[in-house]
Structure 1
Amino acid sequence: MTAATDFSSTQAAQLTAGAKAALITVFVGALCLAFEGSAPWLVKWPAAWELPATEWIGTFLDWFLNSIKPAMRLFSDLMTYPMDAANYVLGNTPWPILIGLVTALGWYLGGLPMAALGFIGLSFVLASGYWAESMNTLALVAVSVPVALIVGGAIGILANEVPRVKSLVQAVLDVMQTVPTFAYLTPLLLLFGFGPVVGLIASAIYAAPPMARNVMLGLERVESDIKEAAIMSGGTRFQQLFQVEIPAAATQIMVGVNQCLMAALSMVIIAAVIGGFNDIGWEVLLTMRKAQFGEAMMAGLVIVVFAVVIDRMSGTLATERKRYDPRVVWAVLGITALFTAVVWSGLPDPSEITLLNPIAGAMDSGLTAFTQANGPWLDALKNNSMFYVLLPLRIGLDQAVLPFTWGFQWTPGMSYGLFAAGIVIAALMAWRGHLTGGLVVLILIGMLETGIANLPWPFVLIGAAALGWVAGGWRLAALSVGLLCTILFSGLWERALLSLYLSGAAVFSCAVAGGLIGLASAVWAPVWKVVRPICDMLQTIPLFVFLIPVLMVFQIGEFSAFLAICAYAIVPMIRYTRHGLVNTPDEMMEAAISSGATEWQIMRDVRAPYAAPTILLGLNQTILYAFAMLVIAALIGTTGLGQSIYLALGQADVGLGISAGAAMAILALIADRMVQGFAEERRKALGL
């Protein structure tokens, strides 16, 4: 009796928090499956239990927006003046002058390489035939960025000066960065109407949070000695802030300026959806709708060129203090002015310079030839990925395995066999001391058999609560369940699961592929030399441009959307994995080497465990990137919340747009908090 009691107590002691959470989740899932036939409400939330939250939100926002519309229209009218001025200056300045200015600035900031980047980049824009449209885009960025810098800087300073509002500001910034951009385009459309100004305001709203965060971070990191010296000198609080602390935080603040510029530029195509004026974003949209993929790619490359040039120059301004000989700057400007004066009468109109038009035509014809020559295997790749991977994940094996897809019909006996195999695997893993892992395998098998879009709502709620409890305690568990219940009652549950399915599949693919590429980059330096410029390029490409190549090859469809999400979201996983693996402390490496460990043992037992918190942060960023891209991908074939947001924009349905955007933000926020919780747990375990 005593031995049995001792054995039971030992087993209970070995039951970790993860094992308990997994056991509860398995039990709830089994109950839902057992009572699926007699209690269908356990599987699908009854429509009668839904609340008309979308209508309530729409009614309230219609009233609120109409009440402030006069003031907003006045603000819109005022913003037309700087917008028109920027358009006039950039549109009427001779193109050699602008190219010379950018080249001279490049030399001053980064020497010959940066000057060459500016000259070649602007020359490419000129040769593309999109010079006028590009100047309109730059005018939008030139006006929206100062607005975003002022607003974001003021918010950051406010949060620093008034600690009571800091947590509120951080929560608002979290919401602004997780709510999809399309969601708040609908209320902006009602407030400001169509036109370039509404695109300008949308860009400013999207670009303000990075500035606010970096101002807050920079002011937090100012050394206490510097602050004490400012106080001891007798300066007022205003003088301390603007003459001491802000200059001391200038490097971090300039990083915010860089991110603000990139965010505003990434919005130009999205803003074109409601702005609709003759800018480069509108050209991308127009050529994509006409299936002119060569022209669309050329216009997209113009945006990429702007992104690369702006990113490199503003990044250098933020991180490097070295400045190059200003005499060369004046020489470049003088030569440019002289050249412009000499050839003024014969200076060609930039709209007539279409040197790259043949390349765009060749891209179209080459794409046609490629798809015709390789159509069978491209279709096979797309169809096999859909029928054997994506479709089973979405609707489950029992609905996806059919004679016309897999060649046979899925039967209940196969389901029982699959679950029996899962139980055997879980039992074997538990016997070997991996109870939590075995239960997780059983849960994953159940999700695969059922399909993510068909998961019972009690299973999802309990699973989220269990995961939140393991990651961050009961507060995170309660927060996760409470936020998910708002989606459940709003009637957006099925669409949320569809979004969860596609983003989850993309995140898993990015985690595997990005982790392996990051591992290879950490182990072999030549691999990183190849991967790094590709990552740099992918991080500077605006979201919309990712749609063009997948549309060119695979046309509209869910598989194309999946590829676009993966292409955008994989970079953080690669970078963080490599960064974590190559920054293992030297003393740990020396201890492992002196103990006689092999390279594989060092990687498995030393470098990987130490890098785990960093890798988890990369996974966190990958999740947020995937959700950000999900709405953009709705343009080429996704379903779920992204499609609802895009439809709401077309129908000017504020309630649906805000509700669906909030639901997507909730999913992203829960995932963000859980991954951060696991990362913090790993840091504590490592004593960091």
Structure 2
Amino acid sequence: MSLAAVRPLAAEFPQAALKRLLWPALLLVTIVLVSLPTGALPTWMTKYPTAWQLPIDAQISAFMRWLMETASFGLFSVRDLTRAIAWTLDLPLAAAKAVLAGGVGYGRGADAVAIAPAIPWFSLLIAGVAGGYAVGGLRLAALMGGGLLYLAVFGQWPAAMVTLASVLVSSVLGAIGGLLVGLACVRWRWAERAVSPLLDLAQTMPVFAYLLPMLILFGFGPVSAMIATIVYAMPPMVRVTILAIRAVPEEIHALGAMTGCTRRQLTWKMLVPTALPALMVGVNQVIMLSLNVVIIASMIGAGGLGFDVLAALRRLDIGAGLEAGIAITVLAILLDRFAQALAVQAGRTPERDEGHRALRRKALWAAFAIAGALWVAAAIWPAIALYPDALKLSTAPWWSDLVRWINVNFFATLDAIRAWAFLNLLAPAKRFMLALPWVWVVAALGIAGFRLGGWRLALPVVLMALFVAVVGLWPTAMITVYLCGVAVLIAAAIGVPIGIAAATRPRLWRAVETVIDLLQTLPSFVYLIPIVMLFRVGDFTALIAIVLYAVAPAIRYAAHGVARVPQTLIEAGVMNGCTRRQILTRIRVPLALPEILLGVNQTIMLALSMLVITALVGTRDLGQETYSALAKADVGKGLVAGLCVAFIAIIADRLVAAGAARLKRRMGLAQ
């Protein structure tokens, strides 16, 4: 080999070697810094100086006081404006609650005059079955009937109808708002650039953090809870709208131009109808996220099933809490399946058999007529509208007795498990994170960001990490990272192998999918009730709840990634004599690694959202800061702590996503 050919290789070798050694070097420096004796580093490096902190929380609180007490638009104040908005939004919410739960009437208190009762359980059951059959056939009709009957039989009907009213109104407003914002982002690129960071914050900031601003702006009650729910649930609709409208074939645009459509006609008569099946996926996400917030929103007056779960958690009534939580899960499944069926129907070619379509329409209207007639009968004889108490069932005593039996017979074992996990896993990890110098953590995050995505990734990562230090919440944030990190590692260690094993076994996957669907639809608060009764309050209880709540995406993404490996590569491995284990370890898993990383990313997001809720069981992290701020009505403290949680989530999301994208490019999988 000539000298001219050797020189480029010699120049590239140190650079390639340095790139490979970067991550081990970062890990080695981290271990060395943690191992240094106390006082070996300057104090300002290990503890962010108080003099450098900025009172951002106090400034936010002062601004909110000024906004609500002083700010005005001349003829009316900001308080008048927000209360007018609250009154306007209360109209559809009150109407929905009147129809589903409270009855139609006018007046309040002793002056109230009832016009008609709320729709009785049997009328809604008939209408739900008929609607399910019209949209999704016999299977969906049976599911709707069974789910609604469960709510009546187990005594959850009144609270479920309050929750349903809130979710329906929140979902409609969230879907419409998300659609309009998404269309604006498609039309104007600057709008997308402005909205994108706000969507990231809305999806990653704990709901606790903006419950208090909503409470101050719009007053205590279900309207504030509904607005908080809309803020939390709308971002997926915005993102789905952007993707769906941009995915409309160019031929549709050309057809609109050829037929002389205006911009408005092109949007509403061609683009939106064409993208409707994809848009219904966004509506489905809005519904599910709205249901996910019902318990938290009950803290500021939402009521319904969420309030029942929260009340059961406060008095540690496992039976009542599980029944109310399962009722929320049933409601979520019914709405999810109905929305999915609507999405499928929106993309389906209309039936050519006009006679069959007419027959189905007549059957549907007949069912609605019967439901309406029974509603009128219930207005005349109110006693028939109530589900008989003698026919109601309850599993609450059974669940309470089961937990009590476990505590009596296995208390010593459970306490030993809790003590071992705390002493050998949680306490060392906590000490490690608290011992890290904040300067090094910020620098290491910047280096990782630069390595994975250049300055465009490194700079925001560093700024977000510095924000946590500047507001004086660095130690609390490290406790958050420690507990979330341990939970994510355990969830990934459990979920990834299960996903890999189930990916090539359809029967096993069906069983696993049923379990993780239940885990994802069960309200997050419900996890806490039995775990607290078994292990008491503390970090270990929070760890179990977080792992149960966050393990689903690790399983789902691992299975999806392994199942998507091209069959041609599998056949090539078989032709080369690879065993089943070799195909799995050398072909399937390596090629699925980017998808697995994305699953870990989603696990981190869910772990952080659950970590905030575990503040109710005694953790001392940013979730506790947010929750205590809500209890003390300290809006500045709550928003700052919520922003810190959001920034931790965004940092993890950006770094993991950049790592997954880089891995895809190296494997030649990027499109």
TM-score over 0.5 for the pair: yes
The reply on whether 1:495 has 2:476 as its aligned counterpart is yes
Q: Distance in 2 between matches of 1:351 and 1:651?
A: 41
Q: 1:307 aligns with which of 316, 329, 332?
A: 332
Q: Distance in 2 between matches of 1:316 and 1:16?
A: 54
Q: Deviations over 1:551-571 (max 9, x none)?
A: 343232221211111111111
Question: Which residue of structure 1 aligns with residue 234 of structure 2?
Answer: 208
Q: Deviations over 1:133-177 (max 9, x none)?
A: 211111211222222122111110100111122122222111111
Question: Which residue of structure 1 aligns with residue 207 of structure 2?
Answer: 181
- Decide whether the 8 Å contact of 1:103 with 1:115 is kept in 2: yes
Q: Distance in 1 between matches of 2:327 and 2:30?
A: 53
Equivalent residues in 2 for 1:111-260, closer than 5 Å = 111-260=137-286
The reply on whether 1:359 has 2:395 as its aligned counterpart is yes
Question: Which residue of structure 1 aligns with residue 412 of structure 2?
Answer: 376
Q: 1:60 aligns with which of 57, 63, 66?
A: 63
The reply on whether 1:76 has 2:76 as its aligned counterpart is no
Q: Deviations over 1:358-408 (max 9, x none)?
A: 42122222221222122121222222111211111112xxxxxxxxxxxxx
Q: 2:364 aligns with which of 322, 329, 338?
A: 329
Question: Which residue of structure 2 aligns with residue 15 of structure 1?
Answer: 17
Comparing 214-223 and 160-169, the one that deviates more: 160-169
The alpha-carbon deviation at position 453 of structure 1 amounts to 2.4
The alpha-carbon deviation at position 340 of structure 1 amounts to 6.4
Q: Distance in 1 between matches of 2:417 and 2:394?
A: 31
Question: Which residue of structure 1 aligns with residue 425 of structure 2?
Answer: 389
**Aligned partner letter, 1:46:** P
The alpha-carbon deviation at position 36 of structure 1 amounts to 4.0
Q: Distance in 2 between matches of 1:29 and 1:686?
A: 31
Question: Which residue of structure 2 aligns with residue 467 of structure 1?
Answer: 448
The alpha-carbon deviation at position 281 of structure 1 amounts to 1.1
- Decide whether the 8 Å contact of 2:121 with 2:387 is kept in 1: no
- Decide whether the 8 Å contact of 2:215 with 2:224 is kept in 1: yes
Q: Distance in 1 between matches of 2:372 and 2:87?
A: 36
The alpha-carbon deviation at position 263 of structure 1 amounts to 1.1
Q: Distance in 1 between matches of 2:392 and 2:594?
A: 47
- Decide whether the 8 Å contact of 1:613 with 1:680 is kept in 2: yes
Q: 1:265 aligns with which of 291, 299, 304?
A: 291
- Decide whether the 8 Å contact of 2:119 with 2:375 is kept in 1: no
Q: Distance in 2 between matches of 1:340 and 1:349?
A: 8
SS of the residue corresponding to residue 395 of structure 2 reads helix
**Aligned partner letter, 1:388:** N
Q: Distance in 1 between matches of 2:569 and 2:552?
A: 28
Q: 1:504 aligns with which of 471, 482, 485?
A: 485
Q: Deviations over 1:621-658 (max 9, x none)?
A: 11111111111111122221000000000111011001
- Decide whether the 8 Å contact of 1:211 with 1:256 is kept in 2: yes
Q: Deviations over 1:409-453 (max 9, x none)?
A: xxxxxxxxxxxxxxxxxxxxxxxxxxxxxxxxxxxxxxxxxx112
Question: Which residue of structure 1 aligns with residue 52 of structure 2?
Answer: 49
* Pair 1:241–1:46, CA change in 2 (3 A): same
The alpha-carbon deviation at position 326 of structure 1 amounts to 3.8
- Decide whether the 8 Å contact of 1:21 with 1:466 is kept in 2: no
- Decide whether the 8 Å contact of 1:496 with 1:641 is kept in 2: yes
Q: Distance in 1 between matches of 2:228 and 2:576?
A: 58
* Pair 1:260–1:200, CA change in 2 (3 A): same
SS of the residue corresponding to residue 389 of structure 1 reads helix
TM-score where L is the length of structure 2: 0.89
Q: Distance in 2 between matches of 1:568 and 1:147?
A: 28
Between the two proteins, the alignment pairs up a number of residues equal to 629
* Pair 1:649–1:340, CA change in 2 (3 A): closer
**Aligned partner letter, 1:83:** L
**Aligned partner letter, 2:441:** V
Question: Which residue of structure 1 aligns with residue 630 of structure 2?
Answer: 649
The alpha-carbon deviation at position 678 of structure 1 amounts to 0.8
The alpha-carbon deviation at position 485 of structure 1 amounts to 0.8
Comparing 452-461 and 668-677, the one that deviates more: 452-461
Identity %: 35
- Decide whether the 8 Å contact of 2:240 with 2:279 is kept in 1: yes
The alpha-carbon deviation at position 53 of structure 1 amounts to 2.2
Comparing 73-82 and 342-351, the one that deviates more: 342-351
- Decide whether the 8 Å contact of 1:550 with 1:560 is kept in 2: yes
**Aligned partner letter, 2:17:** L
* Pair 1:231–1:42, CA change in 2 (3 A): same
**Aligned partner letter, 1:304:** T
Q: Distance in 1 between matches of 2:131 and 2:334?
A: 11
Q: 1:96 aligns with which of 116, 122, 132?
A: 122
Q: Distance in 1 between matches of 2:512 and 2:154?
A: 28
Q: Distance in 2 between matches of 1:296 and 1:605?
A: 46
Equivalent residues in 2 for 1:515-554, closer than 5 Å = 515-554=496-535
The alpha-carbon deviation at position 496 of structure 1 amounts to 0.5
Q: Deviations over 1:197-220 (max 9, x none)?
A: 111111111121111111111101
Question: Which residue of structure 1 aligns with residue 341 of structure 2?
Answer: 316
The alpha-carbon deviation at position 474 of structure 1 amounts to 2.9
* Pair 1:358–1:482, CA change in 2 (3 A): closer
Q: Deviations over 1:292-338 (max 9, x none)?
A: 21111111111111011111111121134568844543454455556
Q: Distance in 2 between matches of 1:166 and 1:551?
A: 43
**Aligned partner letter, 2:320:** E
Q: Deviations over 1:72-105 (max 9, x none)?
A: 1111122222222111111211211111111111
Question: Which residue of structure 2 aligns with residue 291 of structure 1?
Answer: 316
- Decide whether the 8 Å contact of 2:206 with 2:646 is kept in 1: yes
The alpha-carbon deviation at position 546 of structure 1 amounts to 2.6
* Pair 1:382–1:31, CA change in 2 (3 A): closer
SS of the residue corresponding to residue 142 of structure 1 reads helix
Q: Distance in 1 between matches of 2:282 and 2:43?
A: 51
* Pair 1:328–1:374, CA change in 2 (3 A): farther
Q: Distance in 1 between matches of 2:60 and 2:316?
A: 37
Comparing 180-189 and 455-464, the one that deviates more: 455-464
Q: Distance in 1 between matches of 2:406 and 2:367?
A: 44
Q: Deviations over 1:265-316 (max 9, x none)?
A: 1111111011154x11111111221222111111111111101111111112
TM-score where L is the length of structure 1: 0.87
- Decide whether the 8 Å contact of 2:316 with 2:529 is kept in 1: no
* Pair 1:217–1:13, CA change in 2 (3 A): closer
Q: Distance in 2 between matches of 1:501 and 1:18?
A: 27
CA-atom RMSD in angstroms: 2.4
The alpha-carbon deviation at position 354 of structure 1 amounts to 6.8
- Decide whether the 8 Å contact of 1:125 with 1:131 is kept in 2: yes
Question: Which residue of structure 1 aligns with residue 614 of structure 2?
Answer: 633
The alpha-carbon deviation at position 34 of structure 1 amounts to 4.4
* Pair 1:11–1:211, CA change in 2 (3 A): closer
Q: Distance in 2 between matches of 1:121 and 1:675?
A: 39
* Pair 1:335–1:498, CA change in 2 (3 A): same
Q: Distance in 2 between matches of 1:24 and 1:535?
A: 36
Question: Which residue of structure 2 aligns with residue 577 of structure 1?
Answer: 558
* Pair 1:354–1:361, CA change in 2 (3 A): farther
Q: Deviations over 1:24-49 (max 9, x none)?
A: 56347636754742423322223233
SS of the residue corresponding to residue 15 of structure 1 reads helix
Unpaired runs of at least 5, structure 1 = 396-450
- Decide whether the 8 Å contact of 1:28 with 1:462 is kept in 2: no
